[in-house]
Amino acid sequence: MRVLITGGAGYIGSHTCIALLEEGHEIVVFDNLSNSSLVSLERVRQITGKTFPVIVDDVTDRLALDSVFSEHKIDAVMHFAGKKAVGESCVEPLMYYQNNVAGTLILCEAMKAHEISTLIFSSSATVYGDPHSTPITEEFPLSTTNPYGQSKLMVENILRDLMAADNLSGKNFWQLGILRYFNPVGAHSSGLMGEDPQGIPNNLLPYIAQVAVGKLDKLSVFGGDYPTPDGRGIRDYIHVMDLAEGHVKALHFLSMNNVSDCQVWNLGTGNGYSVLEMVKAFEAASQCPVPYEITSRRSGDIAECWADPSKAKRELGWKAGRNLQVMMEDAWRWQSSNPKGYSS
């Protein structure tokens, strides 16, 4: 298939480019480079030995999308493009709704006009809010606590409405998949690609990695009094290449099945690790100390979040195969050989 990848220069999108190319698919990348650089795509070419078109433009630009769909025969779209920082979304909600919600609406309108019906959307475990228990299945109630999470839930609801409208009219046009990611970490095993956050990282793993290379002094562990075995927050960290491969499986599923409902899959490992366990695992992989101090809880954080990924296993034949040690080794290989990320 020829797949349009919005946000394809970003962290998860660029790794998914590799997984798709390695499965024999063709790709067209569409990205405004607001949080990425073209170097990631040069690395995709270097690793796969394959070339592909790259369009630098914005998903909110309908004319730009029209011209891509007219010039390239696209079979499906994977929609990664969007803003993802929870804190920033509280300060700039309009920017988040414009990029994440309006961007998706405009993309869907353009797809419909060009009769492209298959879309895979990057959602997040954030749509489960503060879950009543773990592990989290796809049937858990949905709620959000910040504009970023709200934007993901709004898009999910819009996609469900598109399917419902199809069912009402008996048209069966859309084939829609929603992937709810847990916490993506790690990097491609080559050490050529990985996560390259701008400024001070918000997320745990890039923060730990930058402490280990000496770019940052020490990690603040947010909260030591959660009702968890060691008092620290627990998350389901998943290797970015496992996540990428989940997208290929979801694409295969949608192309083989004529679905009449929005398909939703959790992409996680089913294992939860605490912040402290992550620090220890990173120290073991890197042989570098990661100094830390326990500080107060970060506003909006929850104690525990980990997936029941059995639906994806059952329906997609997908299971995360890379363990915590591999996640850490790959993250370290990337960070230590590219201390300044793609600008190294």
Catalytic positions: 148
80 is a site residue for ligand NAD (CB under 6 A): yes
DSSP for 301-324?
Answer: --SEE-B--HHHHHHH-------H
Phi-psi region of 72 (alpha: psi -120 to 50; beta: other; left: phi over 0): beta
Q: Choose from ligand NAD, ligand UFG, none: what does 207 bind? Cβ within 5-8 Å by kind.
A: ligand UFG
11 secondary structure, DSSP code: H
Cβ proximity to ligand UFG, 28 vs 279, nearer residue? 279
Stretch near ligand UFG under the rule CB under 6 A, chosen from 69-77, 92-100, 155-163, 203-211? 203-211
User: Other C-beta atoms within 10 Å of 133: how many?
Assistant: 8
User: Other C-beta atoms within 10 Å of 218: how many?
Assistant: 12
What is the distance between the alpha carbons of residues 336 and 214, in angstroms, rounded to a whole number?
Answer: 10
Closest CA to 311 of 133, 136, 131: 136
Q: Which amino acid is at 4?
A: L
Q: Which amino acid is at 64?
A: A
143 is a site residue for ligand UFG (CB under 6 A): no
Q: Residues 20-59: x/- map of binding to ligand UFG (CB under 6 A)?
A: ----------------------------------------
125 is a site residue for ligand UFG (CB under 6 A): yes
319 is a site residue for ligand UFG (CB under 6 A): no
Length reported for the chain? 344
Residue closest to ligand NAD, measured at CB:
10
Shortest CB 233 distance to ligand UFG, Å:
2
Runs of H (alpha helix) within the chain: 11-22, 39-48, 62-71, 86-91, 93-96, 103-113, 147-169, 204-212, 240-256, 275-286, 310-316, 324-337
What is the distance between the alpha carbons of residues 221 and 223, in angstroms, rounded to a whole number?
Answer: 6
Stretch near ligand NAD under the rule CB under 6 A, chosen from 76-84, 128-136, 261-269, 280-288? 76-84
What is the distance between the alpha carbons of residues 202 and 90, in angstroms, rounded to a whole number?
Answer: 14
Q: Choose from ligand UFG, ligand NAD, none: what does 13 bind? Cβ within 5-8 Å by kind.
A: ligand NAD
Given candidates 41, 55, 59, 204, which one binds ligand UFG under the rule CB under 6 A?
Answer: 204
The number of CA neighbours under 13 Å toward the Cβ of 246 is 34
Q: Choose from ligand UFG, ligand NAD, none: what does 202 bind? Cβ within 5-8 Å by kind.
A: ligand UFG
Q: Choose from ligand NAD, ligand UFG, none: what does 204 bind? Cβ within 5-8 Å by kind.
A: ligand UFG
Q: Choose from ligand UFG, ligand NAD, none: what does 34 bind? Cβ within 5-8 Å by kind.
A: ligand NAD
Burial class from Cβ neighbours inside 10 Å (0-12, 13-18, 19+) for residue 219 reads: buried
- Residue identified by tokens 């480079």 is 33
35 is a site residue for ligand NAD (CB under 6 A): yes
Q: Residues 120-159: x/- map of binding to ligand NAD (CB under 6 A)?
A: --x-x-----------------------------------
Cβ proximity to ligand UFG, 163 vs 331, nearer residue? 331
Shortest CB 270 distance to ligand NAD, Å:
17
125 secondary structure, DSSP code: G
Cβ proximity to ligand NAD, 184 vs 341, nearer residue? 184
Cβ proximity to ligand NAD, 151 vs 274, nearer residue? 151
Given candidates 126, 150, 210, 286, which one binds ligand UFG under the rule CB under 6 A?
Answer: 126
Where does this chain bind ligand UFG (CB under 6 A)? Answer: 84, 86, 124-126, 182-183, 202-204, 207, 219-222, 233, 235, 275, 298, 301, 305
